[in-house]
Every structure is written in structure tokens, then in C-alpha cells.
Amino acid sequence: MLVNMNEMLIKAFKEKYAVPQFNINNLEWTKFILEECQQNNSPVILGVSEGAVKYFGGYKTVTAVVRSLIEELKITVPVALHLDHGSSVESCVKAIASGFTSVMIDASKYPIEENIRITNEVVKIAKKYKISVEAEVGAVGGAEDGVANEIKFATIEECQELVKKTNIDCLAPALGSVHGLYKGEPKLNLARMMEISTILSIPLVLHGGTGIPDETIKESIKCGISKININTELQVVWALAVREFLILYDKEYDPRKIINAGQSAIKKAVLDKIVLFGSYNKG
């Protein structure tokens, strides 16, 4: 069932668990993730970065793949198709026009007033079509799709201002997490996370979910995190499994067998997150 993120996030926020966002890269990943979420009755957000959209062959291709898989695999759990880190109003509009049910407008690199102005432009359009909107304040560290950032902690005042002046559905306050693999132990500002959540009472999003210790994930959920993004971890476990397969079967050339060699590794990682985030049986 293709839906926006609203209902699933409000439920998660109230019941204190987090909905996983898994980033997708191709048909097979989408299929593996949907099957595992259906199997465990978990709602799921399929995150697609602008780079992944390009790789798929365009927004419409992504939508067609996701819609067809939901239909043909008889997926009944709530699924949101979400643009991850939309960098402009144009790219959010393209996603919406192609059938995405949710967008993130990431104008966090601009001063807060400009971030608010751009976010509002997207919200205005999105609300007409019942599309959910995520925005970001501060900066998540590390690199995604080749775009690198220094960590910049979100301030409570800026989060308050953005939420007050826009009608967003969830907020990603950068509080020390990093996209990609962490160098050393992640240091999240959980106290500030709790304060932002208490003041704003809006579902919060944790980016850079890969490599955050389980205990910290559980603490974050207690502090108001209702959506956690996972990208790199699936890439790492898939690549490891495929590499092993190719060493073992060095004459194999059937792409279906090669890509599928990472299926159980992806499904295991998806299940682990569903259990850790508490989204099992919340579909």
C-alpha cells in the first residue's frame, strides 16, 4: 500500500518506536526490502536520493518499479516512497509529479531564513497533493552521493523557528550523526534531541543510521526519533556477500545469481533494524 509518511510517523511518535527508511538503489533491493517488511508486518519508507534517481533512469522509473512491486508482490504494509535530500524545489516537484508520496527538502546549507523560504515553497505544493514533507536543520556529517559535509549541530531556536513557520510533517535536526561509516564512536547530542522533541512535539528523523550502536538507537527513540535512515549498512552487507560469492563461484556470469547473492544479507539487516527500531508488527 503506497501512502505518505504521516500516519505511520504519527503512530510511531505516539507509540515510541521508529519507522525504518531504507535507501533503494535498484529493482532487486526494492524487492528484498519490501518482501522482508511484509514478512514482518513493518511499515517502511523507501528513500531515494537524487543520485539513485539518476541511476534508476529517472523519477518515473522509480515510481513504476515501486508501484509494480507493491502490486505484484501483494505488499499490504504501508510503504512511503520518499525523495531523500531533495536539493531544490524543482527536484521535489519532479518527484511529486512522478508519484512519490513524500519528499525531503534539504535546504539546511542555507541560513535559516532561506531554509524556511525554500521549505515553505515545497510544503505549499506538497500539501495540495497530500505529500508529506521532511526538512533539515544543521548538517549531518560525512558524505552521501559524493556530497561531503562537516557536522553542524542544529540549535533548538532554529528548529523551533522552522517548525513554527512551515507546515512540515517531520524534522531532521542534525545532532552529531554522519552519513556513511563513522570514524570512531558517534557522539549524538541526545539531551538536545529530547529537548527539541518535547518543545516541538513533531516526529524527528535520525539520518546516518549506519554504525550507531544499538543502545544509542534505543535512546534516540526514547528522545523522540520516529524515523531512522539506513543506507550504507545495506550497501556494505550486500557488497560483502556478493564479493564472497564471486570468489567462490569465479566462473559465474548470470547477473541474477550475482545480484541475488546479497539477498539474504540485505534481508537480515532489514530484519535486525525492524526489531531494533520496534516497527515489527506495526504495519
Q: Could you say whether residue 209 binds ligand 13P (CB under 6 A)?
A: yes
**Shortest CA distance to 154 belongs to which of 196, 184, 194?**
196
Shortest distance (Å) from residue 179 CB to ligand 13P: 5
Shortest distance (Å) from residue 142 CB to ligand 13P: 7
Shortest distance (Å) from residue 182 CB to ligand 13P: 8
194-205-38-6 Cα dihedral, nearest 10 degrees = 100
Helices (H), the chain: 6-15, 27-39, 50-56, 59-72, 89-98, 112-128, 156-165, 190-200, 214-222, 232-248, 255-260, 263-277
Which member of 197, 229, 263, 279 binds ligand 13P (CB under 6 A)?
A: 229
Measured over the CA atoms of residue 63, residue 55, residue 178 and residue 162, the dihedral's sign is: negative
Q: How far apart are alpha carbons 46 and 84 in whole angstroms?
A: 9
Contact stretch for ligand 13P (CB under 6 A) within 34-42, 145-153, 193-201, 205-213: 205-213
Three-state secondary structure call for residue 74:
coil
Q: Could you say whether residue 106 binds ligand 13P (CB under 6 A)?
A: no
Q: Could you say whether residue 134 binds ligand 13P (CB under 6 A)?
A: no
Give the strand pairing for 79-86 and 141-144: unpaired
Q: Do the beta carbons of residue 79 and residue 46 sit within 8 Å?
A: yes
Q: Could you say whether residue 233 binds ligand 13P (CB under 6 A)?
A: yes
Q: Could you say whether residue 262 binds ligand 13P (CB under 6 A)?
A: no
Site map for ligand 13P, 55-94, x if CB under 6 A? -----------------------------xx---------
Q: Could you say whether residue 207 binds ligand 13P (CB under 6 A)?
A: yes
Binding site for ligand 13P (CB under 6 A): 23, 47, 84-85, 179-180, 207-210, 229-233
